């Protein structure tokens, strides 16, 4: 991954949070942030998620990223990487944050907190606008994966202008805590 892809994602998030149509905002997010993943299967899953119904976006992302990255993490105890894993609304909420964190640590290295921060800004704004997780209904997968909260920039840079907006929900790792933080 290179800084150009991180900056593309950050610019995409800035555009997406200004869009009033949540579906279009999700499309912008998935398209513009796909480049932060180095494994083709995950990158392609993000691009494909931009074109599917919101209720299917997270399943598409999790399945693509799981197939692309789980073989890279054989020694980690990641729920999403277990052979018997079944993507349900609850299992996705539980399993995506640790998998996503491992992916970002592998691909983004010192830039992982910066990428997470941009994604948290996006999710927090969508949650605030919607009053809950987009595309989530009882028992259905959520439309977008909530990333782990960054602990610091990791690259010595100052937080971006949008980082302050993520401060309140930054401690949330699962959809329930994200939802309550946005109210």
pLDDT tens-digit series, residues 43-86 = 999 999 999 998 899 999 999 999 999 999 998 899 999 999 99
Could you tell me if residue 180 is inside a domain? Answer: no
Residues 75 and 6 sit within 8 Å (Cβ to Cβ): no
Could you tell me if residue 183 is inside a domain? Answer: no
Could you tell me if residue 181 is inside a domain? Answer: no
- Whether the model pTM is above 0.95: no
Average pLDDT over residues 122-132: 79
Could you tell me if residue 155 is inside a domain? Answer: yes
Write down the pLDDT at residue 75: 86
Write down the pLDDT at residue 81: 96
13-32 exposure pattern, b = at least 16 Cβ within 10 A, e = fewer:
bbebbebeebeebbbbbbbb
> What is the C-alpha to C-alpha distance for residues 124 and 13, in angstroms, rounded to an integer?
11
Domain of residue 154, residue span: 3-175
Write down the pLDDT at residue 52: 95
Q: What angle do CA 60, 66, 72 make, to 5 degrees?
A: 155
Number of domains in the chain: 1
pLDDT above 70 covers a percentage of the chain that reads 72
């Amino acid at each position: 991954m290179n800084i150009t892809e991180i900056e593309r994602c950050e610019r995409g998030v800035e555009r997406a949070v200004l869009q009033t149509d949540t579906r279009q905002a999700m499309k912008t997010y998935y398209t513009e942030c796909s480049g932060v993943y180095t494994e083709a299967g995950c990158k392609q899953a993000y691009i494909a998620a931009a074109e599917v119904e919101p209720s299917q976006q997270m399943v598409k992302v999790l399945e693509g990223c799981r197939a692309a990255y789980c073989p890279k993490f054989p020694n980690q105890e990641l729920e999403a990487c277990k052979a018997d894993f079944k993507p349900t609304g609850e299992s996705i909420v539980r399993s995506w944050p640790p998998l996503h964190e491992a992916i970002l640590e592998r691909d983004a290295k010192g830039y992982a907190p910066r990428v997470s921060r941009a994604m948290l800004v996006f999710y927090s704004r969508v949650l605030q606008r919607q009053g809950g997780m987009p595309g989530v209904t009882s028992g259905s997968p959520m439309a977008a994966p909530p990333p782990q909260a960054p602990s610091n920039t990791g690259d010595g840079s100052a937080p971006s202008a949008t980082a302050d907006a993520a401060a309140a929900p930054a401690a949330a790792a699962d959809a329930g805590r994200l939802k309550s933080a946005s109210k």
